Amino acid sequence: MSLSLSRRGLQIPASPIRKLVPFADEAKSRGTKVYHLNIGQPDIETPAEMWDKIKNYDEKVLAYGPSNGLLEFRKGLAQYYARFGVNVSPAEIIVTTGGSEALLFAMLATCDAGDEVLVPEPFYANYNGFAVYGDIKVVPVTAQAEDGFRLPCKSRFVEKITPRTKAILLSNPGNPTGVVYTQGELEVLATLAREHDLYIIADEVYREFVYDGERYTSIMSLPGIDQHAIIADSISKRFSACGARIGNVVSKNKQLMDSIMKFAQARLCPPTLEQIGAVGALSVPDSYFEAVLTEYQERRNIVYNGIMQIEGAVCKPPKGAFYVIAKLPIDDGDAFAEWMLSSFSLDGATTMVAPAAGFYATEGLGRDEVRLAYVLNTDDLKHAMQILAAGVKEYRAKVMRVN
């Protein structure tokens, strides 16, 4: 007799963002400096307002909080969303343990085992993992690097709809692509939702990070889809507070929110101290975001310009979030990313990227692409991009054996 693992445990995919960490650790142990462009961990300081609120918490017992989150925080979130044309009450918000739990709850509440979710690809890799949890099938609708990963046309979605299709899941502004969908593109999805009785789960955690005069539109600001629309959100990137693990779900669909509440009750409550801190973070002045946005736009420019210095690279300037997917003149993104860590350095340093194949559901796509997160200071980014360009050139010569 032998012990066995669940099919679910065996099928959940490894993270393309984190799976190469052992190679990075080995490089560091050899004395090589590693520039991490593989993961969206901002280096901007967490706002002082968040730390101050936690420091001033004077309760004597750190007790369980409400399963749907602290009322003070949910009231603050409702006021925050109103600034983006999303008018909701605190009762229409459930606080979660990070944006990941918000996405998981939304998927589990809308889909049964065997149901299908349409997702523009490439997409945030953990969507695959959440789908495996619920035995949900991710059905990709492929976008193209050559046109900046714009939303595929309506007919491309329609041809993928089956009786098991329950929802459309998207990231806007986009991780990993940096695309910002227009109101017109979102209205196409809203029409699909109404015509085919679908939910729209919108991962909108990067709404503040929009460049070049582009305009972010929330799915919940569109008319006529109150019962279809769900927002998954997080404070992680907005306030550079990834370790706080505070997110939330927003929807006007009461039956849906009642269902999500049961999932929330099963895990008891989201972190209390971090919610207290998040209340403070919501009070930061607009000048905080203005400074952050200016910084990230400069970083975006450095990364994009660095990519375009690589002969044969294909990329459009990302308009939002702090990621970009670049098509590079390489044969295998996984092999290249590993080689950069194990076999290449320039002046004692190397650059870590995320292989893009893990952001696709369609087998074979993204093999010659990488995702870069521009979350380092400008000097480090310039050096990291110089290393990347030199690495591509040497990889082609020594591994691919092409000039």
Domain boundaries, the chain: 7-45+287-398, 48-281
Q: For 358-390, how does the pLDDT look when each residue is reduced to its tens digit (9 = 90+)?
A: 999 999 999 999 999 999 999 999 999 999 999
Q: Tens digits of per-residue pLDDT, 312-327? A: 999 999 999 999 999 9
DSSP string, 46-108: PPHHHHHHHHT---SS-----TT--HHHHHHHHHHHHTTT----GGGEEEESHHHHHHHHHHH
Tokens of 14: 């490894």
What does the pLDDT read at residue 107? 99
Task: Say yes or no: domain 48-281 is CATH 3.40.190.10.
Answer: no
Mean pLDDT, rounded, for 66-71: 99
CB contact at 8 A, 226 and 256: no
Residue 80 clears pLDDT 80, i.e. is over it: yes
CATH of span 7-45+287-398: 3.90.1150.10
pLDDT at 18: 83
**Residue 80, phi then psi, degrees to nearest 5:** -60, -45
* pLDDT (0 to 100) of residue 305: 98
What's the pTM value of the predicted model, to 2 decimals? 0.96
Which residues does 29 contact at the CB level (< 8 Å), separation at least 6? none
Weakest-pLDDT range from 6-15, 152-161, 180-189? 6-15
Read off the pLDDT of each residue in 175-199 and give the average, rounded to a whole number.
98
Calpha distance 118→135 (Å, rounded): 14
- Tell which residue, 206, 183, 187, has the closest CA to residue 320: 206
What pLDDT score was predicted for residue 64? Answer: 98
The pLDDT tens digits of the residues spanning 339-362 come to 999 999 999 999 999 999 999 999
Q: Is 230 helix (H, G, I), strand (E, B) or coil?
A: strand
Q: How far, in Å, CA of 324 to CA of 327, rounded?
A: 10
Mean pLDDT of the chain: 97
Q: pLDDT value at position 15?
A: 83
Residue 202, token pair as written in the block: 């919108």
pLDDT on residue 1:
64
